[in-house]
Amino acid sequence: MGVAKLTEENTIVPDSKYARIERERRYLLQDLPEGLTRTDPHLQITDNYITGTRLRIRKIREPRTNKWTVKFTQKFPLHPDDLSCTVITNTYLNAIEAETLSVFNSNEIRKNRYYFDYEGRKFCVDMFLGDLFGLVLAEVSFETDEELVNFPKPPFALADVTNEVAFSGGRLAELTISEVRDEIMTRGLLKAAN
């Protein structure tokens, strides 16, 4: 008898009471929105995407207190052609668990995350570091599909990049800032924003 292998075709993904739906829009920004500065309170985030999977290890540091949060996350879109709604499951790790999983540290993204309120909504504004230095993205979350669909692009955003695969975390981990700029030009994102 042969060895039974797991494949995409024979793997069942049951509904999970631990997963939740995340609805969000992602925007390309020129810089931090007016009113925010680089010295404002922020979080330092390091994401390590495990190659070929839907998994990441996220380390979040609060610089003022030096407190860390580490999450092992699975995230994937409900529908492959719509990246605005994803299924996300988080498991919080202690130091020993994080160290055990550190063998997967590759495809790293580093960023500083700022919070910004605009018209009653809290945006997460990410200034990327390392190979993506110069990239600034903002995300905003919604409770319902209707809110998601009807939310207009804010004036501080250059373009809505929600459904641009190149701006998803797993893909960004494989790119440099010059490759991101090429994607912006190739896709005409700045022309579409005008």
d(CA 95, CA 17): 26
The CATH architecture that domain 20-193 belongs to is Beta Barrel (2.40)
Residues 6+ apart with CB under 8 A from 109: 45, 46, 47, 49, 128, 130, 132, 169, 172, 173
Which among 135, 166, 161 is positioned nearest to 24, based on CA atoms?
161
Q: What is the pLDDT at residue 1?
A: 52
pLDDT digit string (tens) for the chain, length 194 residues: 556 666 666 555 566 778 889 999 999 999 999 999 999 999 999 999 998 888 999 999 999 999 999 999 999 998 888 999 999 999 999 999 988 988 876 789 999 999 999 999 999 999 999 999 999 999 999 999 999 999 999 999 999 999 999 999 889 999 999 999 999 999 899 875 44
